[in-house]
Amino acid sequence: MDDFSRLKVLTSQMHLEAAEDVCCPPLASRKRDSVTVSRAVLPNGGRIKLLKTLLSSVCERNCFYCPFRSERDYRRVSFRPEVFVDLFMTMHRSGMVDGIFLSSGISSGGVQTQDRLLQTAEILRLKRAYQGYLHLKIMPGAEKDQVKQAMLLADRVSINLESPSQDRLRSLAPLKNFSKELLAPLRWMEEIREENYPQRAWKGSWPSSTTQFVVGGAGESDLEILDITAKLHNQAGLSRAYFSSFNPIPGTPLENQSPTPPLRERRLYQASYLIRDYGFSLEELPFVGRGDLPLDEDPKLAWAKHNIKHEPVEINTAPREILLRVPGLGPKSVHTILKTRRHSTINYLSQLKALGICTKRLKTFILLNGKAPVRQLALF
C-alpha cells in the first residue's frame, strides 16, 4: 500500500471513531481524492481545512466501544513519523490542508506511543518549520514530561476522559485507570501553565486543553458528566468539553446496545456553555429524574421560565451577569447592549433588531424602559 492510500484508510477510520472535532464542531466535511478533510473552526474563530488522522490504527487496548479495539477484525495501518510528515507537508504546500489533529492507537504502551506522536510534532515544527495549527492527543499512560513537551509544540492538547468516573469507565474501558491515566494529564496541563513560562512554547503561549465524553455508553447521567466538566473548567483550566453520542460499532461487545439520541448531546453542549460562559452553577440547571437534562427544552429557556418570566429583566439597567441569563442573549449581544445604553435608552424591540439581536426568544423575559415589549397577536 502506498503512503497516500494508507492515509485514506487512517482518515476514514478516524472519522468513524468519534464525532469530536477538537478545534470546534466541523462546519462541513468533504473528501478530496478520498482523504477526508474537515472544515473546522479554530478557538480564535478562524476557519481551516483540518486533516484529522491517526498515526497508527494498531491498538493493544480492548475498549468495549472502540472500533480499534485489539480483538476486533479490522484493517490496521501505520506511519513512521518522518514518512507521515513528508506526506502531510506535501498536502500542506499544495493547499489541500491547513492544519492537523493527530492521534494514534496505543502500541507498546502509552509512553512509547506518545513518544512517536512527539517525534512527529518535533519534525514538523523544528525540522520542517511548520507554523500551522497542530492539535496533539495525549495518550493514556503518558508521563508529565511528555505532556509538557506536547504543550511546547501544539496549539491544543487533549485527552479523552470518556466517562465521568472510574465506576462508569469500567463499562467502556475496564483496563483504563480513570484517575492515573486520564484525569491526571488534564491536571498536569494546568500545573505546567502555572509553573512554567509560556515563552518557551512555540508561539509564546500555552495551548488550550480539551476532553471528550462518550455520552450514554456507560449509563451515566448528565449530572455526572457536567459535574466533572464544571470542576475541570474551574480547577484544571479546561477550555472545552466535547460530547459524542454513543453509537454501537459492529464487532464490539456493545454492538447491541441502543444508540444515544443526538439531542442529548446537544443539551449537554448547551448546559456546558451555560456553566463556562454564562455564570450558571450546576445547581441551577434543570435536571429531572435521575439527573438528566430535559430533551424537549433548551436548559437556559427552562431556567428562565421558572425564574424570570414573572419578573422580567430591564434591558436598560440590568448588569451583565443578569442579561446573560435572558434567552436569546449571548456574550456578544450583551456586550452590544451595554455599549449602546451608555449613550441612549432602548425603548423598542426594533432598536435591538437594528443592533443585530434576534428578539424572538427574549421578548417574553425583558422590559424596555419599564414596559413589556409590544407584541403582535397571532391572527389565528
d(CA 209, CA 275): 17
* Bridge partners for 241 per DSSP: 211
CB 275 within 8 A of CB 301: no
Please answer whether residues 248 and 256 qualify as being in contact, where contact means their C-beta atoms are separated by less than 8 angstroms.
yes
Whether the per-residue pLDDT at 23 is higher than 60: the answer is: no
- Can you name the residues that pair with 8 across neighbouring β-strands? none
Task: Give per-residue pLDDT as tens, 183-196.
Answer: 999 999 999 999 88
Q: How far apart are CA 233 and CA 276, in angstroms?
A: 7
Helical segments of the chain, H only: 3-17, 81-93, 109-122, 144-153, 166-169, 184-195, 222-235, 262-277, 299-307, 320-323, 331-340, 349-354
CB distance 244 to 265 below 8 Å: yes
Q: Is 199 exposed, middle or buried (0-12, 13-18, 19+ CB in 10 A)?
A: exposed
Give the cell for residue 211: 476532553
CB-based contact 136:188 (threshold 8 Å)? no
356 close to 303: Cβ distance less than 8 angstroms: no
Q: Which residue has the higher pLDDT, 307 or 17?
A: 307
Asked if 195 and 187 count as a contact pair (C-beta separation under 8 A), the reply is no
CB 50 within 8 A of CB 99: yes
- Looking only at the bridges linking them, the beta strands covering 156-158 and 240-245 are unpaired
- Mean local confidence (pLDDT), 43-51: 87
- Tell me the pLDDT band of 15, cut-offs 50, 70 and 90: low
Residue 378 has pLDDT above 60, yes or no: no
**Kind and range of the H or E run holding 170:** none
Share of the chain above pLDDT 90, in %: 80
Q: How confident is the model at residue 305 (pLDDT cuts 50, 70, 90)?
A: very high
pLDDT in tens, 70-105: 999 888 999 999 999 999 999 999 999 999 999 999
Query: What pLDDT does residue 169 have?
Result: 97
332-349, pLDDT tens digit by residue?
A: 999 999 999 999 999 999
Query: HSE of 227 in the Cβ direction (CA atoms, 13 Å)?
Result: 12
Give residue 20's pLDDT band: very low, low, confident or very high (50, 70, 90).
very low
pLDDT score, position 28:
40
Closest CA to 103 of 132, 136, 63, 147: 136
In this prediction, residue 197 carries a pLDDT of 83
Residue 11 banded pLDDT, cuts 50, 70, 90: confident
Matching residue, cell 461487545: 253
Q: pLDDT digits over 239-258, tens only?
A: 999 999 999 999 999 999 99
Tell me the sheet residues that pair with 35: 32
Query: Grid coordinates standing for 213?
Result: 465524553
